[in-house]
Structure 1
């Protein structure tokens, strides 16, 4: 009972942090139809500054760290990103009124990582005085890229199977009709379509190897992994983070980091939280266009995924001494859903999916839940379970 009381007390304290206050303030401003607007260019600049700062601190830490310490958390980050997509495919995708391809895209977005949520998690850890491995921010791409790749591959396989089944059903109907057609003399007419698999294959173009060539549809259904990875790496959020990491590892940016990036971090983050609150409220309307299950999933998924991340982080804590703060950050990136690089990647990789479904459930519901409930929850859990301080 003391454990539960202590945990709830810590959790309620976290909800009063300025970071979450600005998020809620943004939602209130949008709810009362205020004319307050923050230009998109400022939003992009703030995200860039925050991720450069996170990348620099991670790169400086990596330069002085033992890479072996990063191995297990990095492997776990990859596993979590993939698992999240399969969870969505096999839970949300089986609910009534949900298209499977939309469920897969939703899983991809929830498996990918939000740089702003990561920045918020780091700020709250620092405000609580909880130590963490600065290189933990570098776990971002290890979860982000596998999740997006897995979602696009699963969707492509699913769409390919659906096309194949549709073709088989069409051929079966054609065969049935041809067998039922009768000539004037009372004998079955010559079928217009192949009636066996061998005849069907014999009518396909033959390649130099002697086997029927693949149709254009089959060839177009092949999934190319590298373009997906390339698009993800070229996304603005991940590019900024990786640039910061590279500069932190290869150069000596300590002076500019301490004098410029670090002092501005919390102020910029508060503005970002205000913008995200306004954006979240505006996105709620998109959920009205799709099934209510997406709202339910947006409420549950961030906490479930974060708890999965906490479990894997706890294992890393037991095996390698991964710090409680590092466990919290792994949980936070698992609970987050991509709000910058993920949507355009999925729009291009899964064009058949409905953006209102996966973006609405993520931005309107998932992100506020991860920020307002998830981060305080995981910090309180780490403090209660591992004494993280």
Structure 2
């Protein structure tokens, strides 16, 4: 199926259109939250069922280690470049946003692979969970460092954010716990659990994803105004960063012999940018940063780019490079 005529993708496009024409169409926040939790729960179950069949192998360890490495490398490299364009706090916040991951982009990519019959490992759901927190920790460390430098010249600098508190909130976040818990339940219940949950985690999945992408389209349209007045170089970053990060992931996957399906998902994870979990933490961890910048760029530009063009592009390039 052409990704641009996939019903889920078309609902995203329709949501963007409805938002741009200022329609009063909206998804109630409680429904949006439910859809998000459903998708994470279904994703975790799918991953757990797959892991119950394949087991924990050296290849699984390679993919998970690579995911953690990318989660550390991407925000560090992003900060080095963004510091040339932005204040330290804005650069740290944007680096964290692009160093973390988008669950919806990942789920859409997974749906793309299933539609095209390309296998991937169930452990990739765990890879997504592992890639969320390192960027947040990096941003808080950089912010504390900047506050320390400011305090030397201006004692009224902002308070340091305790790393322990950040670690606790990162690893006990409800959405992340649900994903990991559902994956564990899938592993423990195995084939019997998969048959029992098929109507929930299988048959309903496509429709729920389409409904959620409709809401994401509306949100993307609402965040486009946040891009007004921003530097052209930041717009370029919002488009080139996902391509660069995906290329880094592909090179590492090619070097380490990661299977094609897993490589595509690692490319998507590296290319995606968080617009929910990380911004929520940054609002209190880095109050000095501008939320309209990191939310507007990630949700208004990078997210639509990845959903409409990036995912099929990454899949095609991985197919050529890895001989699929």
Question: TM-score under structure 1 normalisation?
Answer: 0.77
1:78 aligns with 2:87: no
Instruction: State the partner residue of 1:68.
Output: 58
Report how many aligned residue pairs link the two structures. Answer: 321
In structure 2, the residue matched to 1:344 is 280
C-alpha distance in 2 between matches for 1:38 and 1:377: 30
Task: Judge conservation of contact 1:287–1:361 (CA < 8 Å) in 2.
Answer: yes
- The equivalent of 1:306 in structure 2 is 246
Q: C-alpha distance in 1, partners of 2:44/2:25?
A: 31
Gaps of 5+ in 1: 1-9, 168-215
Query: Given that residues 105 and 353 in structure 1 are in contact (C-alpha distance below 8 angstroms), is that contact kept between their aligned partners in structure 2?
Result: yes
Distance 1:384 1:263 in 2: 32
Name the structure 1 match of 2:36.
Answer: 47
1:137 aligns with 2:125: yes
Indicate yes or no: 2:305 matched with 1:375: no
**Aligned with residue 93 of structure 1, among 60, 83, 92:** 83
Task: Supply the RMSD in Å over aligned alpha carbons.
Answer: 2.1
Pair 1:273 & 2:197 matched:
no
Q: Which residue of 2 aligns with 1:237?
A: 175
CA distance in 1, matches of 2:209, 2:238: 23
Higher Rg: 1
Contact kept? 2:43, 2:201, Cα under 8 Å: no
Deviation at 1:149, TM superposition (A): 0.9
1:35-67 Cα deviation digits (max 9, x unpaired): 211111111111111111111111222334124
Query: Higher mean Cα deviation, 49-58 or 336-345?
Result: 336-345
- Normalized against structure 2, the TM-score is what? 0.92
CA displacement, residues 11-52 of structure 1 (integer Å, 9 cap, x when unaligned):
xx4344333222222111111121211111111111111111
Query: Contact 1:63–1:249 at 8 Å: present in 2 too?
Result: yes
1:114-125 alignment runs, 5 A limit: 114-125=102-113
Alignment correspondent of 1:259: 199
1:347-375 CA-to-partner distances (Å, cap 9, x unmatched) read 12212111111111111111111211211
216, 223, 226: which is aligned to 1:286?
226
Shift in Å at residue 290 of structure 1?
Answer: 4.4
Task: Compute the displacement of 1:166 (Å).
Answer: 4.2
Q: Is 372-381 or 283-292 further displaced after alignment?
A: 283-292
**Deviation digits for residues 231-289 of structure 1 (CA, Å, limit 9, x no counterpart):** 12233431221121121123342123312211111111111111111111110111226
Cα deviation, residue 165, structure 1:
4.2
Q: Could you say if the C-alpha distance between residues 362 and 217 of structure 1 is closer, same or farther in structure 2, counting changes exceeding 3 Å?
A: closer
